[in-house]
Structure 1
Amino acid sequence: MQAPRMTDAELAAWLTLAGARGLTHAALRALIDTFGTPQAIRVEPFQSLAAVAGEPAARAVLAPPSAMLDEIVASVAAWCRGAGNALVSLRDAAYPAALRAMHDPPPLLYVKGRLELLLEPAVAIVGSRGATPQGLEDAEYFASALASAGLTIVSGLALGIDGAAHRGALDVHGDTVAVVGTGVDIVYPARHGALASEIAERGAIVSEWPLGTPARREHFPRRNRLIAGLARGVLIVEAALRSGSLITARLANEMGREVFAVPGSIHSPLSRGCHRLIKDGAKLTETPEDVFEELGIEPAAAQQRAGSRDTPPPDGRAARVLDALGHAPATLEILAARTDIDSATLQGMLLELELAGRLNALPGGRFVRTVRPPR
């Protein structure tokens, strides 16, 4: 799929209105619905514009364009000619219907990669940037299973759960879309440069912000509404009570999307946001089958491709250690008391289990068992 190429005049009109100070997306959408194109809007008299969108919007529309407009148009046009790059306007058939239905859809979407993925059935997976090893594993596992079932995985390219979700989809040759809070030509965080390149090649990166826009705190809540808007449901994996992921969940709920939350330890601060969501009506989600059931998806093929989540325990004393560890973090001292194994021997066993992929070491000298078989 390709977005229609704009003329320089069309591009200038779209960029002018998209960047007009004081012109909200909701007001611009009303003007587009009434007058058709940005070029038509720009030649309407003040009173006609004000009657549709209000006087502040009318003044914003008729304000002089940026002195840099010609340079901006040339830069964007050159970017659009790059392989895999597309600028999609609110009037294009390639614009996602799910976003068009929002009251304040972005007038322009900058897309790098496979444009058609914005129209495919999707589930968003989001969560804490400072995720635990278990949270990262859970996000990767759910993303792999859902992508194996043919769902596109949408997330925000952030550290932690977002990155794990993208990788989980890519690992099973599934589809993934990264919605970013910067210009689509900027990678944030920088350490996700390789991941962003792979997503642009095999999936898609999308932004509503102009090229060259740096990361700004206020952009990310707006980014979150697009993550929620593109997906049939949003799965939260680890979130504190004050978390951007809870904003995404709230927006998803307001849009009529399904909200899923993975429960965790009652002792973990990163479980409290998910537990709050579950109390408020989110679906408690323990397996991908919970998501398939809620969305009406046949999970059989995904089960075969994603594999089992149960890990057969090793034999002997290692099995005793894993049984004593259970599924909540524990310290060396607690495990020694539970198993009656001396600390020196236990440390060696814990290291062997970690190298075998059976458990993860957490900050603060704690350990937690993994829930999937090592690869």
Structure 2
Amino acid sequence: MTKQADEALVRLVMAGGALAPRRALLQGAGSAEAALALGVAGWRAHGCTPEQCAALERPDAQRSKAALHWLQDDHHHLLAVTDPAFPPLLPEVPNPPLALFVAGDPGLAWRPAVAVVGSRSPTPAGRALAARFAGSFAEAGLAVASGLAAGIDAAAHLAVLDAGGSTVAVIGTGPDRAYPDHHAPLQARIGAEGAVLSEYLPGTAARPGHFPARNRLVAGLALATVVIEAAHRSGALITARLAAEAGREVCAVPGSVLNPRAAGCHRLIREGAALVERPEDVLELLAPALRQHLPALQSRLATPTEQAVPADLPARWVGDPDYQRLWRALDLDPISMDSLITRCGLTAPQVSSMLLAMELAGIVVCVHGRYCRTP
């Protein structure tokens, strides 16, 4: 975006109030600059309140300057909901954001993702489960989204970073603020190796209402939300409800009936969430949705599908005997799933989830329901 476009979009964000009229104004005009050029009559015609019109006419110069200063960094971005680079799944959530401030790689928000959320004060076992699930999703080529809260969120983000995967943190403050404060180093690392997203202006402090709003974006970015340890009254349950409302998969990891932090997960399961015990359970559940989204995502991310240099098995799978067996069973001639199962001796669920991971890695393609190495 040009500096003028950034300035205009920042003015729209600063106007505050309900998102719907400002979003309608932006989408109707086609750009933030064109939206501002409509003037008061045009703003009112799109539903802006007198307070919003006044803010658009007389923007806060100091806040605008601070936001534009933050955007001067080459790794900082501002994406309007009308921008082609805007995450494609977010417009489907209730009350989509007008714009996103992004620290890091905005392209990561396009990757197929799983949200991992849960208690802010998990048990050691819960923290280990979050790391195991998130690390497995990263190994399968999926991004992991979460809210950078203490506990399960932080464990998931760290596990993905340590595995060299892609993680997206959605925060309830401005992109230059960390909450809790001690997460500042983790937030900086995610900004450097992943992406940090916020719909709030730089300089915005943490406010209670921001975190439930943040949860709708976590749920909206992901094809599935996995809840690991959540009490009856937990923000993770809000994320799960929002994911279900957006038509996404909701998964819950069960725990001990003696663990109050598992009560929310058990409630979700009673209400219809998928009970999952292993990361592979989630991958199997997501396989149809991932294959539906894969062509568009690969095109956007410039991941080769049918015209790639012959690939070797990625290093992360070289030491895995199951992946080695499946890789040896594949060649350049398409083969059915049943034949692959017979060749490699693995189970159908194992082969299905492993093939999906290989497709996401760009080393396997599916041709009319038959699989082969990427030619």
- The TM-score, its normalising length taken from structure 1, stands at 0.74
Asked whether 1:183 is paired with 2:185, we answer no
Residues 152, 16 of structure 1: CA spacing in aligned structure 2 closer, same or farther, 3 A cutoff?
same
Secondary structure at the counterpart of residue 209 of structure 1: coil
Q: Distance in 2 between matches of 1:63 and 1:179?
A: 30
What amino acid does structure 1 have at the position aligned with 2:13?
A: A
On the 8 A contact 2:252/2:276 being kept in 1, the answer is yes
Deviation track 1:241-290 (CA, whole Å, cap 9, x = no partner) reads: 01100000000000001000000001111011000000111000100111
Secondary structure at the counterpart of residue 205 of structure 1: strand
Residues 44, 80 of structure 1: CA spacing in aligned structure 2 closer, same or farther, 3 A cutoff?
closer
Name the stretch that deviates more: 188-197 or 169-178. Answer: 188-197
The equivalent residue for 2:162 is 171
Q: CA deviation at 1:120?
A: 0.6
The equivalent residue for 1:208 is 199
Q: Distance in 2 between matches of 1:255 and 1:93?
A: 21
Deviation track 1:282-334 (CA, whole Å, cap 9, x = no partner) reads: 00010011101111169x999958989xxxxxxxxxxxxxxxxxxxxxxxxxx
Deviation track 1:26-60 (CA, whole Å, cap 9, x = no partner) reads: 2222222322233333343656544543xxx2424
Asked whether 1:41 is paired with 2:35, we answer yes
What amino acid does structure 2 have at the position aligned with 1:69?
A: D
What amino acid does structure 1 have at the position aligned with 2:99?
A: L
Secondary structure at the counterpart of residue 266 of structure 1: coil
Residues 140, 302 of structure 1: CA spacing in aligned structure 2 closer, same or farther, 3 A cutoff?
farther
> 1:31-180 to 2 correspondence within 5 Å?
31-44=25-38, 49-53=43-47, 57-65=48-56, 69-180=60-171
Determine what percentage of the aligned residue pairs are the same residue. 43
Would you identify which runs of 4 or more consecutive aligned residues in structure 1 move more than 6 Å? Answer: 300-303, 305-308
Asked whether 1:12 is paired with 2:10, we answer no
Q: Distance in 1 between matches of 2:185 and 2:115?
A: 21
Deviation track 1:176-223 (CA, whole Å, cap 9, x = no partner) reads: 011111111111112222222221111111111110111111110000
How many equivalent residue pairs?
298
Secondary structure at the counterpart of residue 89 of structure 2: helix
Residues 170, 58 of structure 1: CA spacing in aligned structure 2 closer, same or farther, 3 A cutoff?
same
On the 8 A contact 1:148/1:305 being kept in 2, the answer is no
- The TM-score, its normalising length taken from structure 2, stands at 0.74
Residues 255, 302 of structure 1: CA spacing in aligned structure 2 closer, same or farther, 3 A cutoff?
farther
Q: Distance in 1 between matches of 2:32 and 2:26?
A: 7
What amino acid does structure 1 have at the position aligned with 2:25?
A: L
Q: Distance in 2 between matches of 1:166 and 1:27?
A: 34
Q: Based on CA coordinates, which of the two structures has the bigger radius of gyration?
A: 1
Q: Distance in 2 between matches of 1:256 and 1:94?
A: 22
The equivalent residue for 1:231 is 222
The equivalent residue for 1:327 is none
Residues 27, 65 of structure 1: CA spacing in aligned structure 2 closer, same or farther, 3 A cutoff?
closer
Secondary structure at the counterpart of residue 97 of structure 1: coil
Q: Distance in 1 between matches of 2:49 and 2:315?
A: 52
On the 8 A contact 2:256/2:262 being kept in 1, the answer is yes
Q: Distance in 2 between matches of 1:250 and 1:217?
A: 19
Q: Distance in 2 between matches of 1:76 and 1:87?
A: 10
Q: Distance in 1 between matches of 2:283 and 2:319?
A: 14
